């Protein structure tokens, strides 16, 4: 899935501002974070999502966090991405 496909899959569900720039940050092959940047450069929604193995995208709204909470959240998210990648690699080896 390329960035445009990811944004398109999430745009209708999360109803991003029509003039917003949507930034996609990949956290692994199938895990990514999407940030809505509004025309006034304020941050809108932040969505964490992954491509489901049977198709489609599973997503949730990232909560508003303090810096320390965000650091821990990113640490957990990165650990989850590594675990998913490891599981996928092991499954492909079988």
* Pair type for strands 57-61 and 31-37: unpaired
- 44-53 pLDDT, tens digit per residue, is 999 989 888 7
Provide the 3-class DSSP secondary structure of residue 63: coil
Reference 1, options 47, 49, 46, 45; nearest CA is 49
The pLDDT of 7-27, averaged and rounded, is: 91
pLDDT digits (tens, 9 = 90+) for 19-72: 999 999 998 778 889 999 999 999 999 998 988 877 788 898 887 777 788 788
Q: Yes or no: say if 16 and 44 are a contact pair by the CB < 8 Å rule.
A: yes
């Amino acid at each position: 899935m390329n960035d445009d496909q990811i944004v398109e899959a999430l745009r209708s569900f999360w109803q991003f501002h029509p003039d917003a720039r949507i930034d996609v940050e990949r956290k692994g092959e199938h895990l990514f974070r999407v940030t809505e940047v509004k025309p006034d450069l304020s941050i809108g929604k932040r969505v964490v999502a992954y491509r489901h193995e049977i198709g489609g995208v599973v997503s949730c709204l990232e909560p508003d966090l303090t810096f320390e909470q965000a650091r821990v959240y990113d640490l957990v998210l990165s650990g989850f991405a590594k675990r998913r990648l490891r599981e996928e690699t092991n499954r492909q080896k079988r």
